[in-house]
């Protein structure tokens, strides 16, 4: 039968049944072709998966556990052995084959097959159904299958030969095309070589001309070098003369500068003498007229003169700067008047405090600033915020509130206009309209940030 191979044999055992499958009876041995064997194994693999566990032969228990795709491949040997040795299992497979080919199964049972039947399919049915005298019928069908396989192999061989011949012809055609292209390329290369040779001859001729020109140029360069060297010596001589002239001119300039310094010292001395004379004359005039000290300032008269158009006068131009150092320099000027837009400063520095606390904190800071700098300090607030107006002093700082219906901005502008021309007035406000107005009136304007930074220094 199968050389005593066990039911679970795979690998080498499967290879041994790839070519032949011997069907043994009591009187003869039948060899099934590969196509027929493959059909039977695939059908048996499908049937064994549908059987109940009790109906599955012991040799196929492991095969039944395989996946359907693996059963016909890995279980080919045990399936073949079971079909040969297990009649009950073969009957199950025969029933499945009968269900697939009922008409052909009827012909196999009758022992007569139609002439147009597929011999491989008929041989599989004969092997499974095993009608009377099935071995003789199987031998006949085996011969028919072998003949068909030989004919198919011959056709395949003939087709392979034709394909090889066609491929050879195609390859030959390809080689002819390749040879033709190579000939064309060779001809193109010959043309390029001829052109290159011609170009080489022209390049050699150009090189000869270039060498000749280079020799001529070298001679010209040598002559030019000699000329330039002579010119350089001449220029060096001229440069020495120019350096001597420059030295003499420097001595003359130094002498002129000394004379200028002497003249400037004389002019400064005369100016200082004139200034001392004017100061002494002013002091003598004050003593002669017995003028008292000026304890009344223009800002003190703003309330009385606010409706007087003549109170405004010409003013000098100012320039705004947020550097606290610049503000400190301005406050160092003699007789300077510092006018502060109160709430504009407090709301920039500590606007979260109540208004009364804002006023107190600003006035206290300005008191210290006025004491340090000696400047006249006036701080203006909106009278509507406290229902007050007029002016009062707090330790050297003049505190003023605007009249009802007016704002501190207008009060600041009136204070600036009240000052005499030439007196330095500095206004602290970040309000653009206020700053433009006081600059037009001749005062210096600085933003609130500059004052806050100056006050924070102490």
Q: Given pLDDT bands bounded at 50, 70 and 90, which one contains residue 21?
A: very low
CB 349 within 8 A of CB 453: no
Summary mean pLDDT of the chain: 80
* pLDDT at residue 372, rounded to an integer: 92
Here the tokens at position 442 are 């001749």
Q: To 5 degrees, how large is the angle CA 368–CA 369–CA 372?
A: 85
Residue 109 pLDDT more than 90?
no
Distance CA 46, CA 93 (A): 9
* pLDDT tens per residue across span 162-221: 888 888 889 888 999 999 999 999 999 999 999 999 999 999 999 999 999 999 999 999
Among the ranges given (34-38, 186-190, 334-338, 417-421), the one the predictor scored with the smallest mean pLDDT: 34-38
Please say if the pLDDT value at position 391 is more than 90. no
Q: Which residue has the higher pLDDT, 408 or 27?
A: 408
pLDDT over 80 at 115, yes or no: no
Q: Which residue did the predictor score with more confidence, 9 or 94?
A: 94
- Residue ranges of the domains in the chain? 12-132, 299-456
Top-confidence residue, 18 or 360? 360
User: In degrees rounded to 5, what are phi and psi of residue 132?
Assistant: -55, 140
Please state the φ and ψ torsions of residue 172, each to the nearest 5 degrees.
-65, -40
Contact 444, 322 (CB under 8 A): no
How confident is the model at residue 254, as a pLDDT? 87
β-strand pairing of 376-381 with 397-401: parallel
Q: Are strands 337-341 and 376-381 parallel, antiparallel or unpaired?
A: parallel
Under 8 Å between Cβ of 24 and 1: yes
The reported pLDDT for the residue numbered 213 is 92
- Work out the angle at residue 435's Cα, subtended by the Cα atoms of residues 440 and 396, and round it to the nearest 5 degrees: 105
Task: Give the per-residue pLDDT at 1.
Answer: 31
Q: Within 13 Å and on the Cβ side, how many CA atoms surround 178?
A: 6
The pLDDT of 445-457, averaged and rounded, is: 93
Report residue 300's pLDDT band, with 50, 70 and 90 as the boundaries.
low
CA angle 381, 384, 388 (to 5 degrees): 75
Q: What is the pLDDT of residues 251-284, one digit of tens each?
A: 888 888 887 777 666 566 666 666 665 666 666 5
217 CA to centre of own chain: 57
Q: What is the secondary structure of 345-375 as a DSSP string?
A: HHHHHHTTS-HHHHHHHHHHHHHHHHHHH--
Q: Which of 289, 433, 451 is nearest to 370 (CA)?
A: 451
Between 85 and 300, whose confidence is greater? 85
**Candidate CATH numbers 3.40.50, 2.60.40, 3.10.350, 1.10.10; the one for domain 299-456:** 3.40.50
Q: Name the range with the highest mean pLDDT among 68-77, 122-131, 253-262, 341-350.
A: 341-350
Token representation of residue 90:
């073969």
Tell me the C-alpha distance between 375 and 368, whole Å: 11
Q: Residue 383 has what pLDDT?
A: 82
Q: Give the three-class secondary structure for 114.
A: coil
Q: What is the pTM of this model?
A: 0.36
Beta bridge partners of 337: 376, 425
pLDDT at 297: 67
- Of residues 310 and 68, the one with the higher pLDDT is 68
């Amino acid at each position: 039968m199968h050389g005593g191979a066990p039911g679970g044999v795979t690998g080498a055992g499967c290879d041994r049944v790839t070519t032949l499958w011997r069907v043994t009876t009591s009187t003869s041995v039948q060899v099934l072709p590969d196509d027929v064997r493959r059909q039977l194994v695939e059908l048996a693999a499908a049937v064994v998966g549908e059987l109940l566990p009790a109906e599955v032969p012991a040799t196929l228990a492991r095969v039944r556990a395989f996946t359907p795709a693996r059963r016909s491949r890995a279980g080919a040997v045990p399936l073949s052995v079971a079909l040969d040795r297990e009649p009950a299992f073969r009957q199950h497979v025969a029933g499945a084959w009968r269900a697939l080919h009922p008409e052909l199964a009827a012909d196999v049972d009758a022992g007569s097959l139609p002439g147009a039947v597929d011999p491989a399919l008929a041989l599989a049915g004969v092997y499974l159904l095993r009608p009377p005298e099935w071995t003789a019928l199987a031998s006949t069908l085996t011969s028919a299958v072998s003949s068909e396989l030989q004919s198919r192999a011959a056709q395949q061989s003939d087709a392979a030969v034709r394909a090889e011949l066609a491929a050879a012809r195609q390859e030959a055609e390809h080689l002819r095309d390749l040879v033709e292209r190579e000939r064309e390329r060779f001809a193109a290369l010959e043309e390029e070589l001829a052109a290159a040779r011609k170009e080489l001859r022209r390049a050699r001729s150009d090189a000869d001309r270039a060498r000749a020109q280079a020799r001529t140029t070298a001679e010209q360069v040598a002559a030019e070098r000699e000329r330039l060297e002579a010119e350089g010596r001449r220029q060096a001589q001229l440069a020495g003369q120019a350096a001597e002239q420059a030295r003499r001119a420097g001595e003359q300039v130094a002498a002129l500068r000394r004379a200028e310094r002497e003249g400037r010292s004389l002019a400064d001395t005369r100016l200082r003498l004139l200034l001392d004379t004017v100061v002494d004359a002013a002091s003598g005039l004050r003593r002669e007229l017995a003028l008292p000290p000026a304890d009344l300032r223009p800002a003190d008269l703003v309330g009385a003169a606010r409706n007087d158009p003549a109170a405004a006068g010409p003013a000098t131009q100012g320039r705004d700067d947020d550097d606290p150092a610049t503000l400190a320099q301005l406050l160092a000027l003699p007789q300077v008047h510092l006018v502060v837009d109160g709430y504009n400063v407090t709301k920039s520095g500590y606007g979260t405090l109540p208004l009364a606390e804002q006023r107190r904190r600003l006035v206290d800071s300005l008191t210290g600033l006025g004491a340090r700098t000696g400047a006249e300090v006036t701080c203006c607030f909106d009278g509507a915020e406290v229902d007050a107006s007029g002016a009062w002093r707090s330790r050297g700082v003049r505190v003023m509130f605007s009249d009802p219906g007016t704002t501190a901005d207008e009060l600041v502008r009136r204070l600036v206009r009240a000052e005499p021309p030439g007196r330095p007035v500095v206004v602290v406000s970040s309000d653009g309209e206020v700053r433009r107005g006081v600059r037009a009136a001749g005062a210096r304007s600085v933003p609130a940030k500059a004052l806050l930074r100056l006050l924070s220094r102490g």
